[in-house]
Amino acid sequence: MNLQGTMQIGADGHLWIGGCDAVWLAEQFGTPLFVYDEQLLRERIRAFHAAFRAAGVERYQVAYASKAFCTVAMCQLVTEEGCTLDVVSGGELYTALSAGVHPSRIHMHGNNKSREELEYAIDARIGTIVADNFYELELLEEIAGRRDLTVEILLRIAPGVAAHTHEYISTGQQDSKFGFDLESGQARAALEAVQRLPHVRLVGLHAHIGSQIFDSGGFVLAVERLAGLYEQGMALGLPLRVLNAGGGFGIRYTAEDDAAPITSHIRAITDAVRRSFAARSLELPEIWVEPGRSIAGPAGVTLYTVGSQKEIPGVRRYVAVDGGMTDNPRLALYGARYEAVLANRVGERADTVCSVAGKCCETGDMVIWDAPLPEPRPGDILAVFATGAYNYSMASHYNRIPHPAVVFVRDGRATLVVERETWADVARFDRPLSYKAAYACPQGRYPSPSPGSPPEGDAGAWTPASSAVSGPSAPARR
């Protein structure tokens, strides 16, 4: 058991987080429940600022990668701590703006940004857009040109660096859907293409080599390769001033994870930038990084209520909880591993090995394989650690299961920052089948009506004004 931040074991044998009893939190807000240690969130951010200062770097940005965990409250918190914000969709951009983040402090990523998303970003006057491909460059020029604006961008480069991590979260290698490939000459062609776009100003280069990275060597190699491309851009007369090394800094999930301190990664990156740029007689650029998991991950804990059990003699013992892959798909996606305790019995000896299963109708719906726990009982509160990143943000409605609530805890106070969904919320946008309310499709594609045309006089007609689905009463939000 590795308690981080303000987590501690109380005299009652309960897990406490942010001065709050986890068992009380489960009773007050229900389960599953995401609990964030607000003090630890802030400390993780401050560690990045301190690392840059210790490295003697004055011009830098810590851009929180909101894809890790994006809510209005989280956007507010990271902004208070001096971060800029990295968004990858119109929804994340809307959330950031709703949180009061100044548009100039927002960067937009994405390998297939829609026209609507780019128009939204440009009209909002966000700080920079990280262009991912030639099609996007054309769209940016068109959209900005119609508005007679100049858009500042970074180019995302695939530097040919394969991070030592799971293949699905490794993004810097040549064979990747992200960015302009460096090795084949695409990146150089992109520099030349930008020169011909009067409404697009290239101010920097970006690379993100993957996630959950422990070895700084990948960052160093990526920086060195970006420096060479940066030199080419300067020779073309482009107004480059930023080098963005991305994120992906690994965290501890289990005792097997050897996560390097933040200071170690930042020192390696800044030293590599200094060395690579000095070798080319280039002025030191502004250095950006994009941590997400390393800020949100360790600060999050998920609380579940234990329910049924199944023991297969000589094989395995399953213990089911009231959540699963709908609030944490990472085990199913990546084989992710976690540590857990019974929050109401933390001090007891963990002498039973159980595999924690979710409640979804899916064999792969597992939370933890082979977790050492005290003898579990129905009603126990299971606390799973390091679930702050890519859990809530990747939640789904599989089996029509509502999303959990989210609370921030600090100094003995719990703040509800995301309400728990109800069954009614899950069905809120459903509409009943009614052929009279159907849209007429353009004709001419088929010589005659297709078989099975809807009958005349559909009795189930409805109008948009009265189209809400009615049903049994659902439990109120807690």
In this predicted model, what pLDDT tens digit does every residue of 322-377 receive, in sequence order? Answer: 999 999 999 999 899 999 999 999 989 999 999 999 999 999 999 999 999 999 99
Examine the pLDDT at 319 and tell me if it is beyond 80. yes
Domain boundary among 296, 323, 353: 296
Q: DSSP 3-state assignment of 409? A: strand
pLDDT at 126: 98
For the ranges 380-389, 397-406, 465-474, the lowest mean pLDDT is seen at 465-474
Model confidence at 452, in pLDDT bands (50, 70, 90)? low
How far apart CA 220 and CA 240 sit, in angstroms, is: 20
- Residue 33 in this model has a pLDDT that exceeds 60: yes
367 with 349, same domain: the answer is yes
Residue 142 belongs to a domain: yes
Residue 187 inside a domain? The answer is: yes
Answer whether residue 470 shows pLDDT above 60: no
Quote the pLDDT of residue 468.
Answer: 47
Q: Is residue 206 part of a domain?
A: yes
Nearest-Å Rg of the Cα atoms of the chain is 25
Residue 30 burial (CB count, 10 A): 17
> Looking at residue 167, what is its pLDDT?
46
Q: Is the pTM of this model over 0.95?
A: no
Domain, as residue range, for 200: 38-296
**88's torsion region: left (phi>0), alpha (psi -120 to 50) or beta?**
alpha
Question: What span, in angstroms and rounded, lies between the C-alpha atoms of 146 and 140?
Answer: 10
Nearest to 209 by CA among 158, 272, 269, 261: 158
Could you give the dihedral angle defined by the CA atoms of residues 132, 138, 141 and 147, in that order, rounded to the nearest 10 degrees?
-110
Tell me, yes or no, whether 475 lies in a domain.
no
Residue 166 has a pLDDT of: 41
Establish whether the linkage from the previous residue to 32 is cis, with ω within 30° of 0: yes
CA distances to 201, 238, 401 from 188, rounded to whole Å, are 16, 12, 48
Mean pLDDT for 190-208 is 98
CA dihedral 160, 161, 162, 165 (to 10 degrees): -140
3-state helix, strand, coil in the chain (%, to 5): 30, 25, 45
Asked if 306 and 319 touch (Cβ cutoff 8 Å), the reply is yes
pLDDT at 449: 54
> In this model, does residue 467 exceed pLDDT 60?
no
Band the pLDDT of 447: cuts 50, 70, 90.
low
Task: Return the percentage of the chain with pLDDT > 90, whole number.
Answer: 85
Residue 450 maps to a domain: no
**Are 48 and 177 in the same domain?**
yes
Residues 191 and 114 in one domain: yes
Is the confidence at residue 5, as pLDDT, over 70? yes
Mean pLDDT confidence for 260-287: 97
> What pLDDT is recorded for position 176?
79
Q: Is the pLDDT of residue 169 over 70?
A: no
* Residue where a domain stops, chosen among 381, 404, 424: 424
pLDDT score for 438: 80
More confident residue, 185 or 465: 185
Q: Which of 383, 406, 424 is the last residue of a domain?
A: 424
Q: Examine the domain organization and report whether 82 and 208 are in the same domain.
A: yes
- Domain identity same for 187 and 120: yes
Any residues with CB less than 8 A from the CB of 247 and at least 6 apart, and which? Answer: 65, 208, 211, 289, 290, 291, 292, 293, 294
Q: And the tokens for 171?
A: 């993004």
Q: How confident is the model at residue 170 (pLDDT cuts 50, 70, 90)?
A: very low
Q: What DSSP state is assigned to residue 213?
A: B
Q: What is the DSSP string of 170-207?
A: B-SSSS-SSSEETTTTHHHHHHHHHHT-TTEEEEEEE-
Residues 103, 15: one domain? no
pLDDT(254) > 90: yes
Q: Lowest-pLDDT range, 329-338, 340-349, 425-434, 450-459?
A: 450-459
User: DSSP state, 11?
Assistant: T
Domains contained in the chain, number: 2
Q: Comparing 77-91, 160-174, 237-251, 299-313, which segment has the lowest mean pLDDT?
A: 160-174
Residues 94 and 201 in one domain: yes
- Residue 477's pLDDT is 54
Do both 349 and 206 map to the same domain?
Answer: no
pLDDT in tens, 205-233: 999 998 899 999 999 999 999 999 999 99
pLDDT at 450: 53
Looking at the domain assignment, is residue 456 inside a domain?
Answer: no
Query: Which residues are designated catalytic?
Result: 361
User: What rounded mean pLDDT belongs to the chain?
Assistant: 92
Percent share of the chain, pLDDT over 70 = 90
By DSSP bridging, strand 151-158 and strand 200-206 are parallel
Looking only at the bridges linking them, the beta strands covering 381-385 and 300-312 are: antiparallel
User: What is the arithmetic mean of pLDDT over 380-406?
Assistant: 97
Alpha-carbon span 234 to 228, nearest angstrom: 10
Alpha-carbon distance of 324 to 150, in angstroms, equals 46
Q: Can you give the pLDDT at residue 168?
A: 39
**One domain, residues 282 and 329:** no
Judge whether residue 469 has pLDDT over 60.
no
Specify burial of residue 407 (Cβ count, 10 A radius: 0-12, 13-18, 19+): buried
In a domain, 138, yes or no: yes
Q: DSSP label at 439?
A: P
Residue 89: CATH number of its domain: 3.20.20.10
CATH of residue 366's domain is: 2.40.37.10
pLDDT for residue 1: 76
pLDDT of residue 451: 53
Same domain, 258 and 337: no
| pLDDT at residue 462 greater than cutoff 50 | no
Q: Which of 23, 18, 9 is nearest to 347 (CA)?
A: 9
Mean pLDDT (whole number) for 441-460? 58
